[in-house]
Amino acid sequence: MGNQQRSIVITGGAGFIGSHVVRLFVNKYPQYNIINLDKLTYAGNLENLKDIENQPNYTFVKADICDYETILDILRQHNVDGIIHLAAESHVDRSIRDPFTFARTNVMGTLSLLQAAKTYWESRPEGYEGKLFYHISTDEVYGALTFDGSLFTEQTKYQPHSPYSASKASSDHFVRAFHDTFGMPTIVTNCSNNYGPYQFPEKLIPLFINNIRHRRPLPVYGKGENVRDWLYVVDHARAIDLIFHKGRVAETYNIGGHNEWKNIDIVKLLIKTVDRLLGNPEGYSDCLISYVADRKGHDLRYAIDPTKLSRELGWKPSLQFEEGIEKTVKWYLDNQEWMDRVTSGEYEKYYEAFYANR
């Protein structure tokens, strides 16, 4: 594993999870050619990859996955044999306001990427041999659990509720259809909520860390009783690496770390950690908690059963949640400039600035 040369497109590599996957692959596999293909929407930030942007095995290409002809050119130009597909619209609240963008990118974008891969790989003398289309999905496609202790397995029926999860479910079906119809080697993984450095501050954890620091209200939806299953983003990237190299084609793997938390308990843990690290007295920021109207269709509970992944491939998460949250809070407090540039929009100028200087 890992000694041969490969040319791998990682879509959405300028986003939160994608940037960790790109970093891991660029550093771990100097013999691979890693192409980060990203449209740079509001969620794409090349500053996330400053530390590896000059590595000889890394290339950034600004492109939209919906643009079939451009994608086909990129696959041909770089002789791509592997695709790790993370590009997506990813925020549930935005999907409630603007579902069309989610259908366009997550459904039509994934289909255009699949069709481009099919056209290119079928044109090669070796066909699909040595190729892999690895699609990164979410546990949200399985719908919502109650508080009965049950878990999402790979056999759980798809029952998406939000426009985001409906669009991801549809993209998963297209990926499996390309395997079943054309014989394309595909893998799908469904992961639980990620947290860690470089997450766009519209999501719960970075938004609340930043708000606590600036003494702004913390908008807890409903009663704060919804449960999410949290995984440190680097552990997700490690799982993706393992599955890309050792996963069985046509399979689905659920990724999660048996780490369920009620939102309100996370909010209290964040307050405690930020206050301690900033030297504030205990309880100083409790008054910021502000219960607001619930999210429409808010899924009650997500929880992953990762048994298949640990049994078949020996994966397990490396960090306990309290340790991961400590690292994450420290990272956001130490990288206030990153946060300021994201919240002010300055980060969107980085692409032109970086590429103008090449």
Q: Which residues bind ligand NAD (CB under 6 A)?
A: 11-12, 14-18, 38-41, 43-44, 64-66, 86-90, 105, 109, 136, 138, 168, 191, 193-194, 200
Q: Which residues pair with 8 in a beta bridge?
A: 34, 82
State which of positions 251-270 bind ligand TYD (CB under 6 A).
263
Q: Which stretch binds ligand TYD (CB under 6 A): 16-24, 98-106, 153-161, 221-229?
A: 221-229
Q: By CB under 6 A, which span of 33-41, 123-131, 199-207, 283-291 interacts with ligand TYD?
A: 199-207
- Using the contact rule CB under 6 A, the part of the chain among 106-114, 218-226, 240-248, 252-260 near ligand TYD is 218-226
**Residue 123 and residue 74 in contact, taking contact as beta carbons nearer than 8 Å:** no
Q: Are 90 and 18 in contact (CB under 8 A)?
A: no
Q: Record the tokens describing residue 169, joined without a space.
A: 């479910």
The residue (of 288 and 304) whose beta carbon lies closer to ligand NAD is: 304
Nearer CB in complex with ligand TYD: 36/95: 95
Residue 228 binding: pick among ligand NAD, ligand TYD, none (C-beta 5-8 Å cut-off by kind): ligand TYD
Question: Is residue 305 annotated as a catalytic residue, yes or no?
Answer: no
Question: If you ran DSSP here, which 8-state letter would residue 267 be given?
Answer: H
SS (H, E, C) 209-251: HHHHHCCCCEEEECCCCCEEEEEEHHHHHHHHHHHHHHCCCCC
Task: Specify the residue, 76 or 262, whose C-beta has the smaller distance to ligand TYD.
Answer: 262
Q: Which of 207, 289, 313, 333 binds ligand TYD (CB under 6 A)?
A: 207
Q: How many residues bind ligand TYD (CB under 6 A)?
A: 12
Any catalytic annotation for residue 348?
no
Q: What single-letter DSSP state applies at residue 157? A: P
Strands (E), the chain: 6-11, 32-38, 58-62, 82-85, 132-138, 186-191, 193-195, 218-221, 227-232, 252-255, 260-262, 289-292
Of residues 16 and 315, the one with the C-beta less far from ligand TYD:
16
Answer yes or no whether residue 228 interacts with ligand TYD by CB under 6 A.
yes
Residue 236 interacts with ligand TYD (CB under 6 A): yes or no: no
Among 14, 17, 92, 187, binds ligand TYD (CB under 6 A): 92
The answer to whether 30 and 57 are in contact (CB under 8 A) is yes
- Residues 6 or more apart whose Cβ sits within 8 Å of residue 337: none
Residue 209, amino acid? I
Token representation of residue 8:
């791998």
CB of 272 to ligand NAD, least distance (A): 23
109 binds, among ligand NAD, ligand TYD, none (CB under 5 to 8 A by kind): ligand NAD
Nearer to ligand NAD, 105 or 285 (CB): 105
Kindly give, in sequence order, each residue whose CB lies less than 8 Å from that of residue 21, ignoring residues fewer than 6 positions away: 10, 13, 84, 86, 237, 240, 241
Helices (H) and strands (E) in the chain, counts: 13, 12
- 251 catalytic? Reply is no
Catalytically active residues are: 139-140, 164
Which positions touch ligand TYD (CB under 6 A)?
92, 193, 203-204, 207, 219-221, 226, 228, 263, 295
